[in-house]
Structures are given as structure tokens and as C-alpha cells.
Chains A and B, each alone.
Chain A
Amino acid sequence: MDFHDLIFRNFRRKLFSLLLAILIWTTIHFADQHRRQTSTPAMPTNSVVNP
């Protein structure tokens, strides 16, 4: 399989897969960001243990 085949064979299916992958990635990325923003920030722990 040469480079031309790698890119242009079933080009529409490849383009569709790429667009769908971008859509999935964006959705998960934004969902993750949203979850981090809305979740309560954890209490900062003091690394120095008071004896």
C-alpha cells in the first residue's frame, strides 16, 4: 500500500472517522473540564505534620 492509497482509499470513511473522533474527543475533554470546574476543590493538606 503506497502513500496515496493510505490517504485516499476509502477517503470519505476516513474523513468521517476523523471527524467523529474529534467530536468524541472534544465531548469527553469538555465534560472532564466541566466536571473539574463544578466539583468541590479538595481541602489543601498540610504536608508538615504537627507533632
Chain B
Amino acid sequence: MEILQAIWKPAVEILILAVGIYYVASFVRGTRGAAIFTGTLVLLLTLGLISIVLDLQVVRWLLGIFSPFFAVSVIVIFQPEIRRMLAQLGNLQLFYTTHEQRENIEVIVQTVERLADVRIGALIAIEQSIQLQESAESGIPVDCIATPEMLETIFFPNNAIHDGGVIIKGDRIAYAACIFPLTRRQDLNKTLGTRHRAAIGLSEETDAVVVIVSEETGMISYTYKGELVRGITVEDLRAFLSSVLLQPGKPRNWMDRLRALATDRFKPGPAVLKSTPSKQHGLP
């Protein structure tokens, strides 16, 4: 019983630390600074432990001097990730209704299907909670209703704004010919072109969903949170976009949960009970 009393506090502390580290590790996984950060942290901690156990005063003094630099370097290395994390914390999603997003998904899916058929390259970024202002500044303002015809016109070869990416905000095409930041990841397939690298780069720094159509193969791909999924069908794309942009029945954060609670409470019950679909679309 005494052992239990002595152990429970450290155990709880270690558990809380482990959960925090797990979520941070999940968040920075796949980014360019993750390996550097983990390696440096493990090295610093091991050195710290050794210096304390063996009473190495010089090493301990050096560690004390360099720790603040390490803290600053973490902020510098993970600036995009920290920005994305903070933006997700404050993500409210008040502006776009589910109906608008569903229409958007259809517009994008139809565009991508047509462009893939005729092998016209495309790069479409769908803005979410983080504004894509940096990339938008490099592009040309369009500001028109998003339709498949308009998107096809933009990406049609040899026109003035076909090169670069399109940014979609809500139900509008906000900018065209935007230059997205290229990813610096080294572990990517060498055959990936600039279009795919730009898509990964943008999704690493923001929470935007980026859809790509390859000019060479007509292959459809998407990137989200720094991960690229290649060679998908239009049905896969529709299911993925629905799962990210609509998220039926899945509140994103505490604010959404509150809102869902409030709407559930005051919403009148259905007049006719519908049977739930037996199978849902899974992610590719």
C-alpha cells in the first residue's frame, strides 16, 4: 500500500507527459524538423541525466546555457506547425455552411474528373481555417463563383493564368496562378513534380486540402496535413473531401461540440425515421 502511495504521483505525471508528447509527436510527424527535434531532445535529456548522476558540473553548466537556445530553435523550426496547431485550436468554421461546402465538393470533383480525362494539370487549394494569404499574394485575384467550367478555363494550357495553383475560399475562386511553397522533404519519390511538391508544401504549413491532377498521367491526388495520397478515383476524392469539409456528426472542437449540443437540443425530431446506411465511404 505504501509503495502504491509512493508510485501513483510519478505515474500520473509520466502519463500526462507521455500523452502530451504523443500528441505533439503526432502533430509534427512527417515534417522536416521532426527528426532533428527528437534527436536533439533525446541527446539533451540523456546528457542532462548523465551529468546529474555522475555530477559532471561543466556539462551541466553547458546544458544550462544552451537550453534557452534550444527552446527558441524549436519555435523557429516548428513555426508553421505551431501556427497550424493554434489555428486549429481556435477553429470556428462559422462562415461556410454545409450546403455550400457540398456544392464545392461537387464542383471540384467534376472539374478534376474532366481535367484528368483530357490530362490537363491542375492544382486546387481549398482554404479552411488558416488563410492562404502568403500564397495568394503571388497570384492573381479572380473572385468569381466556383464552377467546373471556370476552373477548366483557368487550367486550360497556354492561357495566361494556367500555371500555378488556384485558391478556393468558400464557394468562390479567390485567386489563380498562385505559387505555393515547395516542400523540403527528402523522403519523397524523385518522380514527383513541382506541382505535387507545392501541394505537399502548402498542406504542411496550413490546414488546406490540395487536389492535384497530373499533367503527364492524368492521375488524381490530394494532400492534407503534409500527407500525399496518389492515384485515387473521383469517388475516393468525393469521400475524402466530404469527410474533411463536411464531417457529418463529428464535431471538430469544443466549440463545435457545444454548438452540436445546442442544435440537437432545440432541433425538432424527424418526421420520418430514415434507416442509416449500412456502409459508409472509407478513406483511401
Contact = CB atoms under 8 A, between A and B. Distances in A.
B156 to A, nearest CB: 44
Contacts of A26: 49
Interface of B: 10, 13-15, 17-22, 25-26, 29, 41-42, 45-46, 48-49, 52-53, 55
Interface in A1-43: 10, 13-14, 16-18, 20-27, 29-31, 34
A5 to B, nearest CB: 14
Given A27-B48, A27-B52, A34-B52, A22 B21 contact: no
Contact of A22 (B14, B19, B29, B52): B14
Interface of A: 10, 13-14, 16-18, 20-27, 29-31, 34
Nearest to A18: B18
B24 to A, nearest CB: 9
A23 B42 contact: yes
A6 B52 CA distance: 35
A23 B25 contact: no
Given A17-B18, A20-B45, A30-B53, 16 more contacts: A13-B26, A13-B29, A14-B22, A16-B25, A17-B22, A17-B25, A18-B14, A21-B14, A21-B20, A23-B42, A23-B46, A25-B17, A27-B49, A27-B52, A31-B48, A31-B52
Nearest to B50: A27
Contacts of A14: 18, 22
A23 B29 CA distance: 20
Contacts of A34: 52, 55
B14 A27 contact: no
Q: Per DSSP, are chain A's interface residues mostly helix, strand or loop, or mixed?
A: helix
A12 to B, nearest CB: 10
A27 B45 contact: yes
A23 to B, nearest CB: 5
Nearest to B53: A30
Given A16-B25, A17-B22, A34-B52, A25 B10 contact: yes
B53 A24 contact: no
Contacts of A17: 18-19, 21-22, 25
Nearest to A25: B14
B45 A23 contact: yes
Contacts of B55: 34
